Amino acid sequence: MEQVHGPIAEGMVVMHLCDNPPCYRYDHLRIGTVAENNADRAAKNRSRAGWENPFWLHKRGQEHSQAKLTEDQVRSIRHRLAQGEKGYVLAAEFGVSKATVSLIKNRKLWTDL
């Protein structure tokens, strides 16, 4: 890959081929258009907004990439809270914060269950 130093042409951006924005290795970077960068991001499922990937909006619950709990675990937490178990005990057991357990209890998280 040819190494180029100097200004970036107007309308062009530096694309991170390794998907690591702080990376500055020349062989991990290339120049492209905004449209190419957006297409690359969508193709790698790295989009945060729904307009690049409409399925992003439909990923809920355990299908969400950052979900720490399964539906069965959430049901268990709700059931055990109703039986009088303490939220901080459940939080430690399931590896989530006390705030997460509270939000589950109050149906602010996992609202579709």
pTM over 0.85: no
Residues 33-72 pLDDT 10s? 988 988 888 777 776 554 444 554 556 777 766 788 999 9
Residues 2-32 pLDDT 10s? 556 778 888 898 888 887 767 778 888 889 9
Q: CA–CA separation, 46 vs 93, rounded Å?
A: 31
Inter-residue contact 42 to 62 (CB < 8 Å): no
Q: Which of 105, 35, 84, 39 is nearest to 97 (CA)?
A: 105
Q: Which residue has the tokens 């390794």?
A: 18
Q: CA–CA separation, 47 vs 55, rounded Å?
A: 10
Inter-residue contact 13 to 33 (CB < 8 Å): yes
